[in-house]
Chains A and B, each alone.
Chain A
Amino acid sequence: MLNIIVTLPFLSSLLIALIYLGNTNAKRFVLYTSLGIGSLVIITTLSLMSLYDMMQGAATIHTKLFEWIHLGDFQIEVAFMADRLSIIMISFITFIGTLIHIYAAGYMKDDAGYGKFFSYFNLFMGSMLLLVLADNPIMMFVGWELVGLSSYLLIGFYHQDAANIKAANKAFMLNRVGDFGFIMGLSILFISLEGHGFSFDAIKANIALIDYQTLTLIGLLLFVGAMGKSAQIPLYVWLPDAMAGPTPVSALIHAATMVTAGVYMVARFSFLYIQIPDIGLFIASIGAFSALFAAIIASYQSDIKKILAYSTMSQLGYMFIAVGLESYSSGIFHVFTHAFFKALLFMGAGAVIIAMHHEQNIFKMGALRGELKLTYITMFIATLAISGIPPFAGFFSKDAILVTAFASGHYAIWTIGTLTAGLTAFYMFRMLFSVFHARKSKAQRVLHPLPKCMTYPLIILAIGSTFAGFVGVNGAYGGENFIAHFLQLPDISVHLSHSSEYMLALLNVSLALFGMTLAYKLYGHRAKEAQPDTLFKKVIINKFYIDALYETLFMKPLLSLSRFIATTVDMKIFDGFLNYSILFYRVLAGQFIRLQNGKVRAYALYFLLGVSAMSLFLIYKLGVNL
């Protein structure tokens, strides 16, 4: 079953690619759609079936596709494993991925590269499933890299515009920086295990063989990989630029695949991270800082997709707070709920963008709530969910994280998290009110109609965003935290009285309501774009000049080094040496070239000379006496 789940998207991707390459101009809408979505529907069904089995108490599934490398004791198998963690992951990845595919069929309908798009899209899903279901870190790394590749292909999908290609390259290269850390971590892990097997189970069993310092190094390096994939400080700059891709791609990257890979990886290596709480604290600090940082930037952005991108980064920060503080199940729980509302937000934003004829500035929209009623309602639900208003999904997961931070005594992280929760409500409702409530900026406009396949997934996701939180209701609210019991991850156990939990929740909710009210006051009627008039605003609108800083710190020196190598080292030293070594032949050839002067008479003379020389030689050899 797992074999099918992983290989089917790759197969359909290959098939679509072959058909598409057969004739790139043909319009085969029905064929591509049925192949691309059909395969996903099948794997979603299979995933949900496995989830059901596991809920009934089935054991961890191991399957082996084939043996990849076998050199003596060293062997790498293409094998898959579905334990409780990965089953939860693939269930929502495939489910939300399918909805996004259906949505994309409407969004990309008129695009010339429709087949190519669906091929990449299925590749993306397959890569993510490979990453999640891998049985050993090597296969996980293969999936990890494939996710990076397919995100590159999709971000640069509108390749006619050079800026999009630049964004795709940026995403790819920053991910390479992270991947370097990741593969270094894996290599050190492999060497330290001294050949005791390299599947996750084997590593877990032999983790005691590695001393504390090495473990710390491994944990840190693996987290560098997670920083790149999950867009945390300092490797986050690619995420806002990744908005250059089509909106379904953003939804897929931000909701179901890619950015959650880092959180998943930390949760997958939870047995390792639980040994090194210092690194965990470092992860949590990075997460908290990223969450606040992204929220501040998002409050001053005016591109609807950029706002959502920074909000993803902020929410990922929460997830890293959770996994860093060893509350793995609440981190995964937030991944789960976040997938619903973030997919919904992106798809709603995509619907708005399509309706507004590809306008992305929220301050040029306004007063859309009457015309796009369904989109408005669903996006409102998603915004409530991300802001942590009960009983929507985000409340329970965010609350679980903040309670962990508070109860484990990390008050600084808790303060930042709570502040960010208020800010989140502010900037999300700022976006919502600017788009749907504020006075319209242009008097007349005609909205582009939305196809049904773009609106129905919104309804399903809105239901998910409302109710997904109930799988993780903890004791204080009368639930029994089903998801944490199901996942069986090595969570830290925190104890906090119910009354203090209520106090914390009350604080969060009141902060969120405050942010919401403030947003309504400022943007509910007349939305104005933020102007960089004070130094403070200027710094924030320019995203703290981090991009410029990276450019001067890394890009410019690298570029001048490359230029130096290209023009001086390569041209003068290497080429120069080669040119010098063939100088003799060049001179000789210059002399020989004179013989070939094109004159028939000269050729006849050479002929004469040749025949004479041959005759003389023969006479000499035969010993004829003249």
Chain B
Amino acid sequence: MSADPFFLLVAILFSIGLIGVASRKNLFVVYMSIELMLSSVNLLLAILSQVLGDANASVIALLLIAVIAAEAALFLAIITHLYRENRTLDSDRFKNLSKVR
């Protein structure tokens, strides 16, 4: 069976994630889009492991899942904190880095 449909899936998932980050304002959705991109890369690792018959990539993919879980905890904590501080989840309101006021 050809691996091409899987690569296509990875590409589609990554693109959806990227567009999500660029176009949505809700921090949760932005977060989910980032996770989507990360998962698509993880999927790519798993596919390549299968295609090349090399177990190393599978191991990295497995480790990555643990990292994603830890990161999720941090991310959610930050979002909760930001909400408490500003009573909003609109990412456009957080523009402390901006030069344009």
A contacts, CB < 8 Å to B: 593-594, 596-601, 604-605, 608
CB-CB nearest in chain B for A602? B22
Assess whether B91 is interfacial by the CB under 8 Å rule.
yes
Partner of A601, one of B25, B96, B97, B100: B25
Cα separation A600 to B98 with both chains bound (whole Å): 10
Which A residues lie within 8 Å of B23 (CB)?
A: 601
Give min CB distance, A97 to chain B, whole Å. 65
Give min CB distance, A596 to chain B, whole Å. 5
Q: Say yes or no: A597 contacts B98, CB within 8 Å.
A: yes
Given A593-B99, A593-B100, residue A598 in contact with residue B22 (CB < 8 A)? no
Which A residues lie within 8 Å of B91 (CB)?
A: 599-601
Q: Say yes or no: A598 contacts B97, CB within 8 Å.
A: yes
Assess whether B95 is interfacial by the CB under 8 Å rule.
yes
CB-CB nearest in chain B for A589? B99
B contacts, CB < 8 Å to A: 18-19, 21-25, 30, 91-92, 94-100
Cα separation A601 to B25 with both chains bound (whole Å): 7
Given A593-B99, A608-B18, residue A598 in contact with residue B94 (CB < 8 A)? yes
Given A608-B18, A608-B22, residue A600 in contact with residue B30 (CB < 8 A)? yes
Q: Say yes or no: B24 contacts A594, CB within 8 Å.
A: no
Give min CB distance, B37 to chain A, whole Å. 10
CB-CB nearest in chain A for B101? A598
Beyond the given A597-B99, A604-B18, could you list 7 further A-B residue pairs with CB under 8 A, ordered by the A residue number? A593-B99, A596-B97, A597-B98, A597-B100, A599-B95, A601-B21, A604-B22
Q: Say yes or no: B99 contacts A596, CB within 8 Å.
A: yes
CB-CB nearest in chain A for B25? A601
Cα separation A600 to B91 with both chains bound (whole Å): 7
Q: Say yes or no: B98 contacts A598, CB within 8 Å.
A: yes
Which B residues lie within 8 Å of A593 (CB)?
A: 99-100
Which A residues lie within 8 Å of B97 (CB)?
A: 596, 598
CB-CB nearest in chain A for B91? A600
Which B residues lie within 8 Å of A594 (CB)?
A: 100
Q: Say yes or no: B98 contacts A596, CB within 8 Å.
A: yes
Which B residues lie within 8 Å of A605 (CB)?
A: 22
Given A593-B100, A608-B18, residue A598 in contact with residue B95 (CB < 8 A)? yes
Q: Say yes or no: B21 contacts A604, CB within 8 Å.
A: yes
Give min CB distance, A173 to chain B, whole Å. 48
CB-CB nearest in chain B for A594? B100
Cα separation A16 to B23 with both chains bound (whole Å): 72
Give min CB distance, B18 to chain A, whole Å. 6
Cα separation A597 to B92 with both chains bound (whole Å): 9
The SS class assigned to the A binding surface is helix
Top 10 closest pairs, chain A to chain B, by CB: A598-B95, A598-B98, A604-B21, A604-B22, A598-B97, A605-B22, A593-B99, A600-B91, A597-B98, A596-B99
Q: Say yes or no: B21 contacts A597, CB within 8 Å.
A: no
Cα separation A605 to B20 with both chains bound (whole Å): 10
Cα separation A594 to B100 with both chains bound (whole Å): 7
Given A605-B22, A608-B18, residue A596 in contact with residue B100 (CB < 8 A)? yes
Give min CB distance, B32 to chain A, whole Å. 14
Q: Could you pull out 23 A-B pairs where Cβ atoms are within 8 angstroms?
A: A593-B99, A593-B100, A594-B100, A596-B100, A597-B95, A597-B98, A597-B100, A598-B95, A598-B97, A598-B98, A599-B92, A600-B21, A600-B30, A600-B91, A600-B94, A601-B24, A601-B30, A601-B91, A601-B92, A604-B22, A605-B22, A608-B18, A608-B19
Which A residues lie within 8 Å of B98 (CB)?
A: 596-599
Which B residues lie within 8 Å of A596 (CB)?
A: 97-100
Cα separation A432 to B57 with both chains bound (whole Å): 107
Cα separation A24 to B25 with both chains bound (whole Å): 61
Cα separation A600 to B96 with both chains bound (whole Å): 11
Name the residue in B22, B24, B25, B91 with the highest tally of chain A Cβ atoms < 10 Å from its Cβ. Answer: B22
Cα separation A601 to B27 with both chains bound (whole Å): 10
Cα separation A598 to B94 with both chains bound (whole Å): 7
Which A residues lie within 8 Å of B18 (CB)?
A: 604, 608
Which A residues lie within 8 Å of B19 (CB)?
A: 608
CB-CB nearest in chain A for B92? A599
Which A residues lie within 8 Å of B96 (CB)?
A: 598
Q: Say yes or no: A601 contacts B22, CB within 8 Å.
A: yes
Cα separation A121 to B24 with both chains bound (whole Å): 77
Cα separation A598 to B22 with both chains bound (whole Å): 13
Which B residues lie within 8 Å of A599 (CB)?
A: 91-92, 95, 98
Cα separation A117 to B3 with both chains bound (whole Å): 91
Give min CB distance, A335 to chain B, whole Å. 71
Give min CB distance, A618 to chain B, whole Å. 15
Give min CB distance, A604 to chain B, whole Å. 4
Cα separation A608 to B23 with both chains bound (whole Å): 11
Which A residues lie within 8 Å of B25 (CB)?
A: 601
CB-CB nearest in chain A for B100? A597
Cα separation A453 to B91 with both chains bound (whole Å): 80
Give min CB distance, A609 to chain B, whole Å. 9
Name the residue in B19, B96, B98 with the highest tally of chain A Cβ atoms < 10 Å from its Cβ. Answer: B98
Give min CB distance, B16 to chain A, whole Å. 12
Cα separation A605 to B33 with both chains bound (whole Å): 13
Give min CB distance, A268 to chain B, whole Å. 68
Cα separation A601 to B93 with both chains bound (whole Å): 11
Cα separation A184 to B51 with both chains bound (whole Å): 93
Cα separation A604 to B15 with both chains bound (whole Å): 12
Give min CB distance, B26 to chain A, whole Å. 11
Which A residues lie within 8 Å of B95 (CB)?
A: 597-599
CB-CB nearest in chain A for B23? A601
Cα separation A608 to B94 with both chains bound (whole Å): 20
Cα separation A571 to B24 with both chains bound (whole Å): 50
Cα separation A253 to B47 with both chains bound (whole Å): 95
Which A residues lie within 8 Å of B92 (CB)?
A: 599, 601
Cα separation A604 to B98 with both chains bound (whole Å): 15
Cα separation A546 to B18 with both chains bound (whole Å): 84
Which A residues lie within 8 Å of B30 (CB)?
A: 600-601
Cα separation A601 to B96 with both chains bound (whole Å): 14
Cα separation A391 to B21 with both chains bound (whole Å): 106
Cα separation A594 to B101 with both chains bound (whole Å): 10
CB-CB nearest in chain A for B33? A604
Cα separation A608 to B97 with both chains bound (whole Å): 20
CB-CB nearest in chain B for A611? B18
Name the residue in A593, A598, A608 with the highest tally of chain B Cβ atoms < 10 Å from its Cβ. Answer: A598
Cα separation A197 to B18 with both chains bound (whole Å): 85
